[in-house]
Structure 1
């Protein structure tokens, strides 16, 4: 299943869980179930925004964006992080009010059942989304999946608190569970915002990709051919690498260009989503970086 298909399924699942969790809150008047329902609203908004950003990221490069629109995915996780933090603050306010004015809960059995069903739906969806996110290297899909996993743990905490209320009669366990939910999603919101900020920076490729690239270049290396000045960066699901290839000055341009094409194709085949660009230089010519003249 493609990234956009999973995000559309995430939107549909969010609507279903909102209905289930809102019904659970309505029946029980539990503030912890209310907090769970609020987080599902964030799930819906986040999934819709992620779908919009993935659609934007899939657009081809144009004159204004020659490297494509792939970084748009990072805005999705940042936006979702902001929504999570806003929801957490609302949950904290509601929990404090309920702590000050505790109320008896009703129909806990039905409320717990609805919460468990919605949690199971989110858990299955998150598992599939994470697998697809790793394959397609989609930050938006990974962010949405991580949020769903947080929602699963949130629901587990809510259910544990409600079971405690049911068995002990301690009404204060309900707002306590809500506060624990808020603390957990605050942590997740911060993590998503941090990942988004890091993604918008030009980070180099990870060690795994670099090892693959080094192995490919080693296959083309020769006493008369060498590679240097390799730089790399990530932009969403896309990877970029630039380097210099030195070869004998006596080679014709046609021969040098043919070998460069072979190396570029080998690199892009070995690393999914990679775009390789190689500059040709004679063996006895060095490119210097960092000189004052390079800064002019």
Structure 2
């Protein structure tokens, strides 16, 4: 993030130099957004530093949520800058400035665009590896900024080719559309993280690991919830085990279950497992061999899916038809 901040500062200077040479409103729009890049990189550095701090008494789940706030802050800055650029663009419709030195300005902008794209791609890759929403958001912002700069370069080329200087205003408003969309997307992702919106991609990854390591004593898994705290995951769920297991055996089964979930992610994972005793409605899909208390034969094989992992109910039992699930707190 220190590298991102330094490069963003340098590229901002290059873009403003390009505007000084060309007097293009579209180039100014791109340069103004670079101010947001610098501010966002600075705040992102602070956020990542804070998120890396260990848990404490005031923050028992750690400080990772600051990363979602950082992404939302960056999106809000982008939208605010877009509104300012929109006002400036409308004002220049009445008195458009005279364009000049377009070849030199285009060359400077092309260099800044390439540097932004390389930096953005690297940040997105690093952010995914670390599971950091802040680093990924900063990288995606730079990639979108690079895309908008490509559009701008096309516009400057069109102006040089045709001599139609009014195209500068057209590409200004096209860039504003990209800027507003990027800002909205970052705010949307930030709110989703802060509100603990379900992440089906992460849950599918955990489900695949559990299905591959499934043991016969793990009768079903339900009420699984996954919360993200920056790069850290907090998982809690209910695991149905044979009711006759002694406390130590049940604890060992739960420990094996936790190890599968921890091994399914490359990030730090905290797991809380609530052990449920089986009920007779579980018999039709229970795979425990030679069960001395079985009341019904095993007749169905229920694969674990996102749907039945989410629900706060034991899995389907044909003994309960047409009721598809058995709640933990109700015997039916």
**Given the two structures, how large is their TM-score scaled by the length of structure 2?**
0.78
Relative to structure 1, is the Cα distance of residues 85 and 276 closer, same or farther in structure 2, using a 3 angstrom cutoff?
A: same
SS of the aligned residue for 1:231 comes to strand
| Number of the residue aligned with 2:11 | 17
- CA deviations on 1:57-83 (whole Å, 9 max, x unpaired) are 222222222222211111111111111
| Number of the residue aligned with 1:101 | 95
Residue 179 in structure 1 maps to residue 160 in structure 2? no
Q: Which piece of structure 1 moves more, 76-85 or 201-210?
A: 201-210
Measured after TM superposition, the shift of residue 248 of structure 1 is 4.3
SS of the aligned residue for 1:278 comes to strand
Cα distance in 2 between the residues matched to 1:105 and 1:225: 71
Q: Which piece of structure 1 moves more, 237-246 or 134-143?
A: 237-246
Cα distance in 2 between the residues matched to 1:289 and 1:52: 44
Residue 74 in structure 1 maps to residue 68 in structure 2? yes
Residue 259 in structure 1 maps to residue 253 in structure 2? yes
Cα distance in 1 between the residues matched to 2:23 and 2:162: 18
Question: Which sections of structure 1, spanning at least 5 residues, go unmatched?
Answer: 1-6, 292-296
Residue 280 in structure 1 maps to residue 275 in structure 2? yes
What is the count of residue pairs matched by the alignment?
A: 284
- CA deviations on 1:147-193 (whole Å, 9 max, x unpaired) are 11121122112222222222222221122221211121011111111
Relative to structure 1, is the Cα distance of residues 229 and 28 closer, same or farther in structure 2, using a 3 angstrom cutoff?
A: same
Aligned pairs (5 A) from 1:1-296: 7-207=1-201, 209-213=203-207, 215-216=209-210, 219-222=213-216, 224-235=217-228, 236-273=230-267, 274-284=269-279
Question: Which 4+ stretches in 1 moved above 6 angstroms?
Answer: none
Measured after TM superposition, the shift of residue 50 of structure 1 is 1.3
- CA deviations on 1:259-278 (whole Å, 9 max, x unpaired) are 32222122201223332211
Q: Which piece of structure 1 moves more, 150-159 or 18-27?
A: 150-159
Cα distance in 1 between the residues matched to 2:55 and 2:211: 27
Contact 2:68 2:190 in 1 (8 A): yes
Pick the structure with more helix per residue: 1
| Number of the residue aligned with 2:309 | none
SS of the aligned residue for 1:277 comes to strand
Contact 1:73 1:139 in 2 (8 A): yes
Instruction: Give the alignment's Cα RMSD to 1 decimal.
Output: 2.3
Relative to structure 1, is the Cα distance of residues 169 and 225 closer, same or farther in structure 2, using a 3 angstrom cutoff?
A: closer
Measured after TM superposition, the shift of residue 289 of structure 1 is 5.6
**Given the two structures, how large is their TM-score scaled by the length of structure 1?**
0.87
Cα distance in 2 between the residues matched to 1:290 and 1:177: 61
Measured after TM superposition, the shift of residue 214 of structure 1 is 5.0
Relative to structure 1, is the Cα distance of residues 217 and 66 closer, same or farther in structure 2, using a 3 angstrom cutoff?
A: farther
Cα distance in 1 between the residues matched to 2:106 and 2:184: 29
